[in-house]
Structure 1
Amino acid sequence: MMANNQEKYGKKIPYDPLWKGPVDVIRFPTDRIWLVTFLLYTSVYIANAIYGLSRGNLNKLDIPYDYADRACGLDPEVQDKPYLLILDLKNCSGLEHECLAPSTCVSQCPTENFIYKRETNTDSLDKVKEKLHCTADINVTSIASFDQLDLLISHKKCAKWYLKSEPWRNKCLAQNAWEGHENETISSDELFEVRVAIKEMEHIVQKFYSYSTKALTPTLVAIICGGVLALLYVIQLRWFAVPSFYASVAVFLLLAFFGIYKLIEDYVHHKKSDTLISLICVSLIVLLVIALIIIMRKNIYLGCQLIKESSKAMMQLPMTLVFPILPYLLYVLVIALTTTALLSFSTITIPKYIIDRIGDGTADGCQCLGNYTDLLDGAPCDPIVFSNECSANGQPCQFLQCRQDRIENPQYISFLHTINVVGFIWLMFFISGFEYMVLGGAFASWYWTYNKNNVRKYCVLESLFRTTRFHLGTVSIGSLILTVSQIVKLIFRALQDRLRSTGAGACAGSLCFCFRYAYEMLDSLLNFLNYNAYIMCAIHGKGFCQSAKSAFNLIMRNLMKIVAVDTITDWMFVMAKLFVASMAVFGVSLYYSLTLDEETADPEFVGIALLGTAIGVFMIASVFFSVQSVAVKTIFLCFIEDSERNDGTEEKPYFMSNKLMKLIYK
């Protein structure tokens, strides 16, 4: 049976007296065609971003738009009008949300209150026009009569009233209600609600900035202390990996038993079926965890010993803790470029124009020729052709217009977005794979050094050189496979959301759900195999396919051990990150409880400090434990290969430590 298994998944790696580890392997560039492909696509991705930055205008993101999507102060028609005025403030619940009331760009906000009532109006038409605010497509000076003015106001082309306003983020915000005219304009309570809605966001931002500034020093101190604590945790794992594992399991079981107690208590009182189902599920999980710990105790011990070895390797190769700064900087660069390009693409727009009739469109004697004689209201039009074909006694038409209705992104923007997103995913996976291969090569060099006291000082730099010089093509194809897999996952997710939104049948939804989660499992397998292929490439210098095949065969020959070790180490590192972050948050909360008066302490301020501490410490701890995770996986693959290559005799000595050696004979 064992012979058949070995034949199915390849033969064990034979002894090679010349094998001295990854340092002495004769290497050649691997998978060069895929490196060329990656570089070409990266060039397209960068050119795509540059095009977006050159054609888009990020200033538009912070500029108000009128009812026809004209950017106040930017678009040609409103270039000298930087402020947005709502023509009917009563119908606008808040400027920070979508406001369906008509609006227009103005050169300055109103400096006085105004209301137009024809039945009580005593001003001349010219005097009324001086105070009038209309949409940008209305030429106020061309209004020839009060009848035309009434028509424009009834169609919400001009404001019937407005209030004295002040600029706020390029928007005109009314200061006070108009006493004596509340019924015709807006009441104090309504205006207060509008102002609160508008100012609330600014208030939140200012408060967050103020609190963040005050909490900066304690938070930074806590993050630094959390980083030191994470480092100390890594160091202590060299001696206390087994107690740390069982302590984390004990904490989990205690929380689970407490949850079971609460569920039982809730079920006794309310007799809910949901509570009973939750109780059964949690109980089964607890029993499963206990059973797995009993059954896999030997593999648990192996995993803990590997964690000890990884901690020892990290202490001898301290540069492995510093190296992740480089990929993190690259992550930030890619995220910044992708986000900027995404925002730039959203500002590349083209206007859409439609016919707009006010009344019957002939109040000012407007007449059209050619193609514009029988156009219906709302029909698409070309403003240049319209201005040539239609006029009112030689002047532009006021009551029949080809006006801008909306703005849209050109169809090719979807293609640019696709290039941007695919490039982002590929680059992120590439950086991750590059980091993995460099660290894997460094830890493999440590393992395959017979006397660990003679480990090269610059293993990380040597591995960085080998990866950059020979194996970027392997990282390219590996990251491309993961990119394609990720895109398929996104398609499944979008399809499932589409079926849910369209109310598709339960059968179609269930089928899509099954396919999606089956593919999630396949994607996890691809990720696992991919990163192990990187390690094998770093060790042996072979191409991606050969490295993936070697990794797959090695894993399948030792499947149970690898599954157990992976599960144990992932569990340990997640619990370690939570422990370190929790201790840092506890320290900050203790500091504020001792230094702040309970009656005057602002819970929002303390909450921001605790949140910043938790995020910062968790990120630093993730860096340390991700490095240790690579170390464990690399050392484990090397350990398995070592146990296949050698037998511990003088002719074929093991490279592993004595503690790992003892596990082979158990």
Structure 2
Amino acid sequence: MCVHFLVNRGCTDILCCILFILALLGYFAVGILAWSQGDPRKVIYPTDSKGQFCGQTCFTLPKKPLLFYFNILKCASPLVLLEFQCPTTQICVERCPNKFMTLVKALLKEDDREYYKQFCKEGVDMTKVNIWNFCRKSNVVVEARAVAMRIFEDYTQSWHWILLNVIFYCITQNSVILNSICKYFLHVYPLSCFSSGIFHCYMQYASLKGQAGSDVTIKDLGLQTDFSVYLQIRQTWLAFMIILCIVEVVIILLLIFLRKRLLIAIALIKEASKAIGHVMSSLFYPLLTFALLSLVIAYWAITAVFLSTSSDPVYKVFNTTECMYSRDTCEPETFNSSNITAECPDAECLFAFYGGETLYHKYLILFQFYNVFLFFWCANFVTALGQVTLAGAFASYYWAFKKPEDIPAFPVFNSLGRALRYHTGSLAFGSLILAIVQIIRVLLEYLDQKLKGAQNKCAKFLLSCLKCCFWCLEKFIKFLNRNAYIMVAIYGKNFCTSAKDAFFLLMRNIVRVAVLDKVTDFLLFLGKLLIVGIVGICSFFFFTGKIKIVEDATPTLNYYWVPILTVVFGAYLIAHGFFSVYAMCVDTLFLCFLEDLERNDGTADRPYFMPESLLSILKKSNEGVKTVD
């Protein structure tokens, strides 16, 4: 029987395709302009808050090669996306601090004052500095630096073992084991895993009874850099056991009250596993998505850096408390004598970015805005391309009446070709809508930073409401786009028609959608936890030397949790990539399943395409086509 969704296909949303191509050409032009105007030295060499180069003999501070950040956490501010400069004081220093002092030492030893003077801004009177607060911060910095050095040593000792673990995990992800888990143990392993975890926690809790120091509470213990300390107290294992018990009770309730829905969800995941078994190349598609996203991120970052390092330094007011002059342009030479410091005592005039008075520099912020907007558009386009490619491949599996005989050859490659040839405009349209919402969210965050000094409570409340609304809107558009792309892959219609068809199809089956979608997400999440948990447990036994066979090969570590967390994090990223394929497969099969139910009735003219497992659950059959060859 023919796979009907492959015929009668034409180009969709041509106008948006042309607009996307023109936008890309403009993006390349902005990149070329930035690279021609930017100064590579300002990218390569660290620059302090005054715009001076650190450690360069031909520049300003030859004897101070290192850049010292006062508060590195401020670099996570959304302002970095547009201004590409960390909003905290940065100074060039000869060496990093390697000691700290107490208030008593500071009062008794003038030498210590002179030592720390190099880590203060020019012109600071050390006799008037709040030494106690300064030293408390220095103590934290030195301790953090010592921990970081020990972590670095652990990586040098264990990097090859970490790499081997990750490679082994990649191999097992593509093996039959993963398919077998999804096919045969998906409805069993959640209870068994959590039951085993509860039993293990109870045994650890019981074994620590009566041991010295095991009755200490987590609150009394405080923050410890050695996490193994927490595993030596009973309260930790009791907390783990309670959490696992609550989760298992929730799972049991789901099994009792949502049995039929769970059976359909499990059947869909099993069918998805069969589909991936016949379309194995789909498991490798996330690598292409990752490569394209890396390219987009790299182009954005390089362009942003070159744009931000064009021409003369521009200084702006940065502050931690409310100030009406926040982010205003300022001059370092006259800043201390201005009225800004009187009204905002904690305000500082810091280097923000490179600009100037030419036409190019006047529109520099617009170029940065265009760079961010095209970054979102291109990133969303790459994601959309992956979704419609996988949806087309898995739809070809579902709508093949005889599986696997009727499945087209090279389904992933053919689906990618169809998406680029016919539906680039539709992908650009959907990703454009999402990019507009995302750039509005960035602008709202930017306004929030700019209005920190505002006293209008109503404006702050309105801004918070807008941020919340656009966050919800972005989530909804992502959900709608995903299903619209599936309909584009199946029927080849334009984006708006596909989005409308997908929306009303889901609304007509809203209860089934709400239950099955969440149940499927939950089961896939448990699948991630299972595989990542296995990797984490194996890594724990290896790096703690509990496996006697390879005990001699175990590296000597300061913190054994460093390689364990690294392997677990890498395993989770890989699991997320591969399970995203499963999620897309389940979503595609689910929409095809709903379309199948509405369009067909099991007769010879309109047979069901769904597998026998789903037919039996729904108590339906293809009575009229039993003898079809």
Task: Establish whether residue 45 from structure 1 lines up as the match of residue 27 from structure 2.
Answer: yes
Task: Establish whether residue 424 from structure 1 lines up as the match of residue 406 from structure 2.
Answer: no
AA of the residue aligned to 2:111: S
AA of the residue aligned to 2:366: F
Q: CA shift at 1:525, angstroms? A: 2.0
Q: CA shift at 1:49, angstroms? A: 2.3
Bigger radius of gyration among the two: 1
Instruction: Kindly provide the CA deviation profile for residues 80-130 of structure 1, in whole angstroms up to 9, marking residues without a partner as x.
Output: 6660469xxxxxxx962459xxxxxxxxxxxxxxxxxxxxxxxxxxxxxxx
- 1:101-112 matches, within 5 Å, as none
Partner of 2:439: 487
AA of the residue aligned to 1:224: I
Task: Establish whether residue 226 from structure 1 lines up as the match of residue 209 from structure 2.
Answer: no
Q: Which of 513, 516, 528 pairs up with 1:577?
A: 528
User: CA 1:289–1:618 in 2, change beyond 3 Å: closer, same or farther?
Assistant: closer
Q: CA shift at 1:486, angstroms? A: 1.6
Instruction: Kindly provide the CA deviation profile for residues 400-448 of structure 1, in whole angstroms up to 9, marking residues without a partner as x.
Output: xxxx997853243221211111111111110000000010000000111
User: CA 1:253–1:483 in 2, change beyond 3 Å: closer, same or farther?
Assistant: farther
DSSP-derived class of the 1:451 partner: coil
Structure-2 separation of matches of 1:63 and 1:518: 41
- Could you tell me whether the CA contact under 8 Å between 1:338 and 1:420 is conserved in 2? yes
DSSP-derived class of the 1:409 partner: strand
AA of the residue aligned to 2:166: I
Partner of 2:62: 83
DSSP-derived class of the 1:96 partner: strand
Structure-2 separation of matches of 1:287 and 1:503: 49
Structure-2 separation of matches of 1:194 and 1:601: 37
Structure-2 separation of matches of 1:204 and 1:58: 33
- Could you tell me whether the CA contact under 8 Å between 1:256 and 1:286 is conserved in 2? no
Structure-2 separation of matches of 1:256 and 1:519: 42
- Could you tell me whether the CA contact under 8 Å between 2:17 and 2:428 is conserved in 1? yes
AA of the residue aligned to 2:182: L
Structure-2 separation of matches of 1:493 and 1:254: 46
Instruction: Kindly provide the CA deviation profile for residues 373-406 of structure 1, in whole angstroms up to 9, marking residues without a partner as x.
Output: xxxx949xxxxxxxxxxxxxxxxxxxxxxxx997
- Could you tell me whether the CA contact under 8 Å between 2:198 and 2:244 is conserved in 1? no
Q: CA shift at 1:286, angstroms? A: 9.4
Task: Establish whether residue 348 from structure 1 lines up as the match of residue 322 from structure 2.
Answer: no
Partner of 1:387: none
- Could you tell me whether the CA contact under 8 Å between 1:433 and 1:475 is conserved in 2? yes
Q: Which of 554, 557, 564 pairs up with 1:602?
A: 557
Partner of 2:354: 409
Q: CA shift at 1:47, angstroms? A: 2.2
Q: CA shift at 1:610, angstroms? A: 1.8
Partner of 1:299: 261
Name stretches of at least 5 consecutive residues in structure 2 with no aligned partner: 72-90, 99-105, 120-137, 203-214, 220-242, 316-332, 336-348, 356-361, 621-629
Name stretches of at least 5 consecutive residues in structure 1 with no aligned partner: 1-17, 87-93, 100-168, 177-181, 258-264, 270-280, 354-376, 380-403
Structure-1 separation of matches of 2:602 and 2:504: 23
Instruction: Kindly provide the CA deviation profile for residues 121-145 of structure 1, in whole angstroms up to 9, marking residues without a partner as x.
Output: xxxxxxxxxxxxxxxxxxxxxxxxx
Task: Establish whether residue 539 from structure 1 lines up as the match of residue 490 from structure 2.
Answer: yes
- Could you tell me whether the CA contact under 8 Å between 2:377 and 2:435 is conserved in 1? yes
AA of the residue aligned to 1:650: A
Partner of 1:161: none
Q: CA shift at 1:70, angstroms? A: 3.7
Q: CA shift at 1:41, angstroms? A: 1.1
Partner of 2:111: 187
Partner of 1:159: none
- Could you tell me whether the CA contact under 8 Å between 2:68 and 2:92 is conserved in 1? no
Structure-2 separation of matches of 1:19 and 1:334: 39
- Could you tell me whether the CA contact under 8 Å between 2:282 and 2:412 is conserved in 1? yes
Q: CA shift at 1:315, angstroms? A: 0.6
Q: Which of 243, 249, 270 pairs up with 2:188?
A: 243
Partner of 1:374: none
Structure-2 separation of matches of 1:330 and 1:419: 20
Q: Which of 39, 51, 55 pairs up with 2:37?
A: 55
The TM-score, its normalising length taken from structure 1, stands at 0.65
Structure-1 separation of matches of 2:25 and 2:259: 51
Q: CA shift at 1:622, angstroms? A: 1.0
Partner of 1:320: 282
AA of the residue aligned to 2:575: A
AA of the residue aligned to 2:267: Q
Instruction: Kindly provide the CA deviation profile for residues 555-608 of structure 1, in whole angstroms up to 9, marking residues without a partner as x.
Output: 11111111212111211222222322222122122112226799994333x333
Q: CA shift at 1:518, angstroms? A: 3.7
Q: CA shift at 1:38, angstroms? A: 1.0
- 1:377-526 matches, within 5 Å, as 378=334, 408-410=353-355, 411-454=362-405, 455-495=407-447, 502=454, 504-505=456-457, 509-526=460-477
> Bigger CA drift: 514-523 or 546-555?
514-523
User: CA 1:209–1:649 in 2, change beyond 3 Å: closer, same or farther?
Assistant: same
DSSP-derived class of the 1:83 partner: coil
Partner of 1:20: 3
- Could you tell me whether the CA contact under 8 Å between 2:53 and 2:60 is conserved in 1? no
Q: Give the number of equivalent residue pairs.
A: 499
Q: CA shift at 1:213, angstroms? A: 3.6
Partner of 1:612: 566
Partner of 1:589: 540
- Could you tell me whether the CA contact under 8 Å between 2:67 and 2:92 is conserved in 1? no
DSSP-derived class of the 2:185 partner: helix
CA RMSD of aligned residues (A): 4.6
Partner of 2:68: 96
- Could you tell me whether the CA contact under 8 Å between 1:72 and 1:79 is conserved in 2? no
- Could you tell me whether the CA contact under 8 Å between 2:12 and 2:494 is conserved in 1? yes
Task: Establish whether residue 660 from structure 1 lines up as the match of residue 614 from structure 2.
Answer: yes
Q: CA shift at 1:484, angstroms? A: 1.3
Structure-2 separation of matches of 1:589 and 1:534: 42
Q: CA shift at 1:463, angstroms? A: 0.7
Structure-1 separation of matches of 2:188 and 2:617: 18
AA of the residue aligned to 1:481: I
AA of the residue aligned to 1:581: V
AA of the residue aligned to 2:310: I
> Bigger CA drift: 54-63 or 321-330?
54-63
> Bigger CA drift: 431-440 or 47-56?
47-56
Structure-2 separation of matches of 1:346 and 1:327: 28
Structure-2 separation of matches of 1:285 and 1:663: 27
User: CA 1:560–1:187 in 2, change beyond 3 Å: closer, same or farther?
Assistant: same
Structure-2 separation of matches of 1:228 and 1:28: 39
The TM-score, its normalising length taken from structure 2, stands at 0.68
Structure-2 separation of matches of 1:481 and 1:611: 37
AA of the residue aligned to 2:274: K
User: CA 1:228–1:244 in 2, change beyond 3 Å: closer, same or farther?
Assistant: farther
Partner of 1:391: none
Instruction: Kindly provide the CA deviation profile for residues 328-387 of structure 1, in whole angstroms up to 9, marking residues without a partner as x.
Output: 11011111111122222222241579xxxxxxxxxxxxxxxxxxxxxxx949xxxxxxxx
Structure-2 separation of matches of 1:295 and 1:342: 53
DSSP-derived class of the 2:9 partner: coil
User: CA 1:547–1:586 in 2, change beyond 3 Å: closer, same or farther?
Assistant: same
> Bigger CA drift: 559-568 or 48-57?
48-57
Structure-1 separation of matches of 2:408 and 2:497: 28
DSSP-derived class of the 1:241 partner: coil
User: CA 1:408–1:485 in 2, change beyond 3 Å: closer, same or farther?
Assistant: closer
User: CA 1:69–1:465 in 2, change beyond 3 Å: closer, same or farther?
Assistant: closer
Instruction: Kindly provide the CA deviation profile for residues 263-294 of structure 1, in whole angstroms up to 9, marking residues without a partner as x.
Output: xx99xx9xxxxxxxxxxx99999998776654
Structure-2 separation of matches of 1:407 and 1:477: 35
